[in-house]
Amino acid sequence: MVSNNKQAKNILVIGGGAAGMMAAIAAASAGGKVTLFEKNEKLGKKLYITGKGRCNVTNACDPEDFFANIVRNPRFMYSSFKLCSNDMLMALLESYGVPLKTERGNRVFPVSDHSSDIIRALADELKRQNVRVCLNYEVKGLLLEDNSAEASAARRCVGVIGRDGKKHYFDHVIVATGGLSYPSTGSTGDGLRFAEKAGLKVNACLPSLVPFEVAEPVCRTLSGLSLKNVAVRLMADAKEIYSGFGEMLFTHFGVSGPLILSASAAATEYLAKGQKLTLHIDLKPALSEKQLNDKLIRMLTEGASKSLKNALGSVLPVRLLLAVLDAAGLDPEKKCSLVSKQERLDFIQKLKDFTLTVTSTRGFAEAVITRGGVDVKNISPTTMMVKGVEGLSFAGEVLDVDALTGGFNLQIAWSTGFAAGTYAASEENASSERKPKEKGKKQKERVKMNIQIAIDGPAGAGKSTIAKQLAKKLDILYVDTGAMYRAVALYLLENEVDIDDEASVTRICRNAKLDLSQEKDGQHVFLNGRDVNPFIRTPRVSDATSRSSAYAGVREYVVASQREIAKNISLIMDGRDIGTVVLPDATLKIYLTADPKVRAKRRYDEMIARGDEADLETILQEIKERDHRDMTREVTPLRQAEDAVCVDTSYMSIEEVVDTIYGLCMERVDKGK
Ligand SMILES: Cc1cc2nc3c(=O)[nH]c(=O)nc-3n(C[C@H](O)[C@H](O)[C@H](O)COP(=O)(O)OP(=O)(O)OC[C@H]3O[C@@H](n4cnc5c(N)ncnc54)[C@H](O)[C@@H]3O)c2cc1C
């Protein structure tokens, strides 16, 4: 958690749902002075009805599974989930005195099965953290200051205006007003309107995890009938867009139940465009057509004198049996002995594929979740702050992120709320010390203070990609160490040194004075004051480089030169022992790492993209072996320097990693290191 000793920031959270309560707790525990405005008469009205009143707080799955269950913008969730993961959420709730249990499908609930226990625990924590909670207080709009006089300055949110017209000023406002689903709980899309007014893009909102309306009147007849263990496939013309197994329910308008809600996550966009979908229900998924045929032959023979309706009573509930017989064109009163083979096969076909035409979803009033919302491109995935509007963050369902059922949607609210609160409290400049944020040029001037960034870490963690992008962002030199070895080799060739004579090479290379500079087209290497960039890429130099750089004396000399250069110029270097050996006094040391499986997948993807053959398992094995070798080698084994910051990139995008290191760098610069 981030805390600071500066003057406490005055933070407002709008909305007392899952995201808002978590944001307020996180902001207060990170040192903020926090107020929460909730328009309802109590906190957590929607939380109360979650999980049929039991509140499926999260899902105890692996991170990969968590992201796989997010339908819209899973990558956006990488950073905030890392900050507040499902494990952390569970530990947090248990520390608040709510014991939890994990059920089928890793769904986590309070042991008491009462969502009210979750709400009570959060409300108690808000009290403990001295959050000022104002109920029955509706926010009407944001107070935005347009610093248009300052061409470079961003806009700023300075507070909110209440329903009573009163203006309230804050250093930072977090909008956690939910989406549009179940508006009776208070989620009426206010935050979406605030976002639009602030100039943010809001993506079209659709109900998701929502029942289907169906064309066939048979649903009305079957209304109230619940089916367990059925399989469904949802088709858009010939394309299967969903398949699943579970429980569904017939209603007076169509179909509902957990399986249908999950299917709806794949269907909303199609239906919104007016496309009809077909729902294919396998009423007997455990039996093959052959097994069903054998079973029916037996039943029809044993009940030869009975009507179909009476003989097949154990196959399906009677209302459904009548509907399936009807769909197969069979008279329920027909005597079993008179049923032809084709009629039997038609009946089996309908049992395996009872088809309904889905015409639309139900509305927001019955939707578990809102698809769409504030476009995440507007929002920093790490801090939840709005890009281009200072003092403003969004969290929870108001964002265009949604997931399948199973506790994932609440985890989105917890993670984004936690990130928003944590970073709002630690953001620079409380109101009393407000000043326009430094923009690019100024920031780069700050970095003109001498700064060295060392990026270490295991193979495949993305060191060079990150280092190059960061160098660009900071406008400092990314050191291409290979070019320095090439310059040494050029010197040796120009002075006709026998490259096979290690002693001579080691002695004479020391006369090659190396320097680097950052030019528009990248790094230039200077050899005894001469720019040798144009001469170091020839095949002859390449050959001499690979032979001479094998000598320990040459490597020592180049490393010493790198250290010398780093005294005078801001730079970034990456490698496996940069922080420990080459730049032990670097301003900022980063140990970049990632789960071996993730590194293997990245390498695999690269190879496939290049058109190479690749085997994921082999690559993973190689990476593990290389890690082991690097960590146990006698000379400079791979290890994290004690003063290095470890950045695990497993679930971060390149942009997020660059932003994170950039932020750390700015902190160091500000501390005057
Ligand atoms: C029936 C149902 C069951 C669900 N079950 C589960 C489940 O078991 N597990 C799961 O993971 N997810 C579940 N969900 C989804 C989950 O509840 C939501 O994703 C989550 O609650 C969103 O949290 P939020 O804080 O972003 O928004 P909300 O919970 O909607 O909270 C927003 C709050 O902001 C307040 N507000 C809005 N506008 C203003 C304003 N202008 N001024 C002041 N206050 C305002 C509202 O009154 C509300 O209290 C369920 C949803 C429904 C509808």
The answer, yes or no, to whether any atom of ligand 1 lies below 6 A from the CB of 410, is yes
Q: What is the Å distance from ligand 1's center to 18 Cα?
A: 6
- Nearest Cα to 119, choosing from 175, 181, 57? 57
**Measured distance between the N- and C-terminal CA atoms of the chain, rounded to whole angstroms:** 23
Residue carrying structure tokens 């994921």: 616
C-alpha 442/C-alpha 449 separation (Å) is 12
Question: Measured from the CA of 410, which atom of ligand 1 is nearest?
Answer: 11
Question: Measured from the CA of 44, which atom of ligand 1 is nearest?
Answer: 49
Q: What is the Å distance from ligand 1's center to 374 Cα?
A: 15
What domains, with CATH codes, occur in the chain? 10-56+114-206+366-398+415-433 (3.50.50.60), 212-362 (no CATH), 438-476+570-673 (3.40.50.300), 481-554 (no CATH)
Q: Would you state the structure tokens that stand for residue 499, as one six-digit string? A: 């490259």
Where b means 16+ CB within 10 Å and e means fewer, 306-320 reads: bebbebbeebbeeeb
Task: List the residue whose alpha carbon is closest to atom 46 of ligand 1.
Answer: 186
Q: What is the Å distance from ligand 1's center to 407 Cα?
A: 13
Best of 12, 45, 50 for a ligand 1 pocket test (most atoms within 8 Å of beta carbon): 50
Question: Measured from the CA of 51, which atom of ligand 1 is nearest?
Answer: 8
- Nearest Cα to 458, choosing from 585, 659, 608, 633? 633
The answer, yes or no, to whether any atom of ligand 1 lies below 6 A from the CB of 109, is no
Residue type, 290: K
The answer, yes or no, to whether any atom of ligand 1 lies below 6 A from the CB of 66, is no
Task: List the residue whose alpha carbon is closest to atom 31 of ligand 1.
Answer: 17
CB atoms within 10 A of CB 204: 10
The answer, yes or no, to whether any atom of ligand 1 lies below 6 A from the CB of 493, is no
Which residues have C-beta within 8 Å of that of residue 476, sequence separation ≥ 6?
447, 451, 453, 518, 569, 570, 571, 572
Q: What is the Å distance from ligand 1's center to 178 Cα?
A: 5
Which pLDDT value is given to residue 356? Answer: 97
Task: List the residue whose alpha carbon is closest to atom 3 of ligand 1.
Answer: 50
Q: What is the Å distance from ligand 1's center to 17 Cα?
A: 5
Element (H, E) at 28: helix 18-29
The answer, yes or no, to whether any atom of ligand 1 lies below 6 A from the CB of 189, is no
Q: What is the Å distance from ligand 1's center to 542 Cα?
A: 62
Task: List the residue whose alpha carbon is closest to atom 20 of ligand 1.
Answer: 410
Question: Measured from the CA of 396, which atom of ligand 1 is nearest?
Answer: 26
Best of 187, 371, 394 for a ligand 1 pocket test (most atoms within 8 Å of beta carbon): 187
The answer, yes or no, to whether any atom of ligand 1 lies below 6 A from the CB of 46, is yes
Residue 121 near residue 15 (C-beta atoms within 8 A): no
The answer, yes or no, to whether any atom of ligand 1 lies below 6 A from the CB of 45, is yes
Question: Measured from the CA of 407, which atom of ligand 1 is nearest?
Answer: 11
Distances from the Cα of 137 to the Cαs of 13, 37, 140, 394, in angstroms? 12, 6, 10, 19
Distances from the Cα of 478 to the Cαs of 306, 468, 482, 609, in angstroms? 86, 6, 12, 26
Residue 470 near residue 481 (C-beta atoms within 8 A): no
pLDDT digits (tens, 9 = 90+) for 60-74: 999 999 999 999 999
C-alpha 14/C-alpha 614 separation (Å) is 50
Best of 71, 410, 415 for a ligand 1 pocket test (most atoms within 8 Å of beta carbon): 410
Best of 164, 366, 402, 409 for a ligand 1 pocket test (most atoms within 8 Å of beta carbon): 409
The answer, yes or no, to whether any atom of ligand 1 lies below 6 A from the CB of 413, is yes
Best of 46, 89, 180 for a ligand 1 pocket test (most atoms within 8 Å of beta carbon): 46
Residue 92 near residue 121 (C-beta atoms within 8 A): no
Task: List the residue whose alpha carbon is closest to atom 45 of ligand 1.
Answer: 15
The answer, yes or no, to whether any atom of ligand 1 lies below 6 A from the CB of 110, is no
Task: List the residue whose alpha carbon is closest to atom 23 of ligand 1.
Answer: 18
C-alpha 563/C-alpha 576 separation (Å) is 16
The answer, yes or no, to whether any atom of ligand 1 lies below 6 A from the CB of 138, is yes
Q: What is the largest CA-CA distance in the chain?
A: 109
Which pLDDT value is given to residue 567? Answer: 82
Q: What is the Å distance from ligand 1's center to 369 Cα?
A: 9
The answer, yes or no, to whether any atom of ligand 1 lies below 6 A from the CB of 186, is yes
Residue 459 near residue 629 (C-beta atoms within 8 A): no
- Nearest Cα to 638, choosing from 586, 563, 575, 587? 575
Which pLDDT value is given to residue 481? Answer: 84
**What SS3 class is residue 60?**
coil
Q: Across 479-627, where does the E strand assignment appear? A: 514-519, 522-527, 530-531, 571-574, 588-593
Task: List the residue whose alpha carbon is closest to atom 38 of ligand 1.
Answer: 177
Q: What is the Å distance from ligand 1's center to 90 Cα?
A: 19
Which pLDDT value is given to residue 443? Answer: 42
Residue ranges in the chain modelled with pLDDT below 70: 1-6, 147-154, 427-449, 576, 635-636, 670-673
The answer, yes or no, to whether any atom of ligand 1 lies below 6 A from the CB of 536, is no
The answer, yes or no, to whether any atom of ligand 1 lies below 6 A from the CB of 409, is yes
Q: What is the Å distance from ligand 1's center to 157 Cα?
A: 24
